[in-house]
Amino acid sequence: MKFGTKAVHEGITPDPTTGAIMTPIYQTSTYVQEAPGQHKGYAYARGKNPTRVALERGIASLENARHGLCFSSGMGAADAVIKLLRPGDEVLATDDLYGGSYRMFTKVFAHFGITFHFVDMHDLQALEKHITPATRMLWLESPTNPMMKILDIAGCTALARKHKLLCVVDNTFATPYLQNPLDLGADIVLHSVTKYLGGHSDVIMGALMTNSDELHEKLAFIANSCGAVPGPMDSFLVLRGLKTLHLRMQRHCENGKAIAHMLRKHPKVAKVYWPGFEDHDNHAVAKKQMRDFGGMISFALREDSFEAATRVAKATHLFYLAESLGGVESLIGHPASMTHASIPREERIKTGITDSLLRLSVGVEDVEDLIEDLTQALDKA
Ligand SMILES: *Cc1c(COP(=O)(O)O)cnc(C)c1O
Task: Give the distance (Å) from ligand 1 centre to CA of residue 340.
Answer: 14
Dump pLDDT digits (tens) for 8-41: 999 988 998 999 999 999 999 999 999 999 999 9
Structure confidence at residue 344 (pLDDT): 83
Name the CATH superfamily, with its identifier, for domain 245-378. Aspartate Aminotransferase, domain 1 (3.90.1150.10)
Closest residue (by CA) to atom 2 of ligand 1? 192
- In this prediction, residue 271 has a pLDDT band, given cuts at 50, 70 and 90, of very high
What's the Cα-to-Cα distance from 292 to each of 110, 123, 278, 299, rounded to whole Å? Answer: 37, 23, 13, 19
49 CB near ligand 1 (under 6 Å): no
pLDDT at 342 over 80: no
pLDDT at 189 over 90: yes
Q: Can you point out the beta strands (E) in 56-129?
A: 67-71, 90-94, 115-119
Cβ contact 61:6 at 8 Å: yes
Closest residue (by CA) to atom 5 of ligand 1? 74
Structure confidence at residue 96 (pLDDT): 85
- Examine residue 230 and say whether the peptide bond preceding it is cis (omega within 30 degrees of 0): no
Share of residues in the chain with pLDDT > 70 (%): 100
47 CB near ligand 1 (under 6 Å): no
Helix (H) / strand (E) containing 126: helix 124-129
Coil, helix or strand at residue 278? coil
194 Cα nearest atom in ligand 1: 7
Task: Identify which has the larger pLDDT, 167 or 348.
Answer: 167
Structure confidence at residue 340 (pLDDT): 86
Cβ contact 257:294 at 8 Å: no
Dump pLDDT digits (tens) for 172-181: 999 999 999 9
- How many CB atoms are located within 10 Å of the residue 311 CB? 17
Angle between helices 306-315 and 367-378 (to 10 degrees): 140
Dump pLDDT digits (tens) for 230-250: 999 999 999 999 999 999 999
Task: Give the distance (Å) from ligand 1 centre to CA of residue 218.
Answer: 22
Domain spans of the chain, in order of start: 3-242, 245-378
pLDDT at 358 over 90: yes
Task: Give the distance (Å) from ligand 1 centre to CA of residue 78.
Answer: 9
Q: Report the distance separating Cα 10 and Cα 243, nearest Å.
A: 9
Dump pLDDT digits (tens) for 114-159: 999 999 999 999 999 999 999 999 999 999 999 999 999 999 999 9
Mean pLDDT, the chain, rounded, equals: 96
77 Cα nearest atom in ligand 1: 9
Q: Report the distance separating Cα 71 and Cα 56, nearest Å.
A: 10
Closest residue (by CA) to atom 8 of ligand 1? 74
Q: Which fold has domain 3-242?
A: Aspartate Aminotransferase; domain 2 (3.40.640)
Task: Give the distance (Å) from ligand 1 centre to CA of residue 100.
Answer: 7
pLDDT at 168 over 90: yes
Structure confidence at residue 237 (pLDDT): 98
Share of residues in the chain with pLDDT > 90 (%): 93
Closest residue (by CA) to atom 1 of ligand 1? 192
Q: Report the distance separating Cα 335 and Cα 107, nearest Å.
A: 20
Mutation pick for ligand 1 pocket among 194, 208, 237, 338 (CB with most ligand atoms within 8 Å): 194
- In this prediction, residue 277 has a pLDDT band, given cuts at 50, 70 and 90, of very high
**How many distinct helices (H) and strands (E) make up the chain?**
14, 12
196 CB near ligand 1 (under 6 Å): no
Task: Give the distance (Å) from ligand 1 centre to CA of residue 75.
Answer: 6
Cβ contact 168:156 at 8 Å: no
56 CB near ligand 1 (under 6 Å): no
Model pTM? 0.97
Cβ contact 215:194 at 8 Å: no
- Examine residue 146 and say whether the peptide bond preceding it is cis (omega within 30 degrees of 0): yes
| pLDDT, mean of residues 150-169 | 98
Q: Report the distance separating Cα 53 and Cα 322, nearest Å.
A: 32
- In this prediction, residue 182 has a pLDDT band, given cuts at 50, 70 and 90, of very high
Structure confidence at residue 350 (pLDDT): 87
* Amino acid at position 124, single letter: L
- In this prediction, residue 293 has a pLDDT band, given cuts at 50, 70 and 90, of very high
Positions annotated as catalytic residues are: 46, 98, 170, 195
